[in-house]
Amino acid sequence: MRVSYDFRDSVVVVTGGGHGIGAGLCRAVAKAGGVAVSADIAPNSALSEIQAPGRIEVASVDVGNAQGIQGLLQETIGRYGKIDAFVQAAAIQPRQEIEEMSQETWLRVMDVNLNSLFYAGQVLMPHMKSRRAGAIVAFASGLAQTGWAKASGYATTKAALIAFIKSMAKEGLAYGVRANIIAPGITDTDLFTGPNNEQEQEFFRVRGGGVGTVAEVVPLLMFLISDASRSLTGALLSRDLIIHPPETADLKDQM
Ligand SMILES: NC(=O)c1ccc[n+]([C@@H]2O[C@H](COP(=O)([O-])OP(=O)(O)OC[C@H]3O[C@@H](n4cnc5c(N)ncnc54)[C@H](O)[C@@H]3O)[C@@H](O)[C@H]2O)c1
């Protein structure tokens, strides 16, 4: 029942690939023999030094900037002749109540988390359609269903990404271009420990379904970008166990 992947000759672009889940995926792609392009606003140069059958190319990009992400994708296609898979892991989650959040911050969240996939799609869709192959993966979140105080922008983008990916899947269907979305569940990365205060972290650890690890999420991403999932498109794969927001929890007052 063991699974192993052969990604030789495969090119996978991972935004937010410098840290957290994205970096874990880059390592797994390189381990499977592929080329991972780790695209991040905070590039992690150590990734390019890993010893693996494949390799990780580290790129600096702001995905919220259309020219930035589109330029990177065009350069990658120019260099390798193709992109087999694109994973949009980059995201930000500033925590502010609606009346406190500046329009600038709101628009930045939209740009980084959501518009970035539209910008990328404008390059990826014609490229992948012409090759009649390609896999695109985005990240949703449990907060898309529950909402979360002070995370309106983030939650909104995660809900919108589900509709966007499903639309992408329909546009790609006749061309063998797949688009799926994963809700990874609460995962122990900077995006969990940064925005959530101690009480919130405690809530997730104890009552919100538990905190998972990058190592638990990466195999699902490998599945979604590989031929193993070639009959799967337009799907939301959810590891999210958050059933109830903490409406009566002790931490209600803090949130
Ligand atoms: N960690 C969780 O609990 C959790 C839960 C649900 C969904 N997710 C989703 O999983 C995905 C991966 O998140 P993670 O937990 O690994 O977080 P993370 O913070 O560890 O990684 C996110 C990466 O995105 C990068 N990034 C931020 N802004 C960028 C920009 N403008 N351009 C390029 N890169 C940028 C960061 O530098 C970072 O490396 C995200 O889409 C997130 O919304 C995470």
One-character DSSP codes across 61-118: --TTSHHHHHHHHHHHHHHHS---EEEE---------TTTS-HHHHHHHIIIIIIHHH
Mean pLDDT over all residues of the chain? 92
Tokens 């090119």 — which residue?
11
Q: Kindly report the pTM of this predicted structure.
A: 0.94
CA of 216 to the centre of ligand 1 (A): 16
Distance from residue 89's CA to the centre of ligand 1 (Å):
5
Ligand 1 nearest-atom number relative to CA 90: 24
Question: Which tens digits make up the pLDDT trace of 151-207?
Answer: 999 999 999 999 999 999 999 999 999 999 999 998 988 888 888 888 888 877 776
Q: Which amino acid is at 173?
A: L
First to last CA, the chain: 44
Domains of the chain: 11-237 (3.40.50.720)
**How far, in Å, is the centroid of ligand 1 from the Cα of 8?**
26
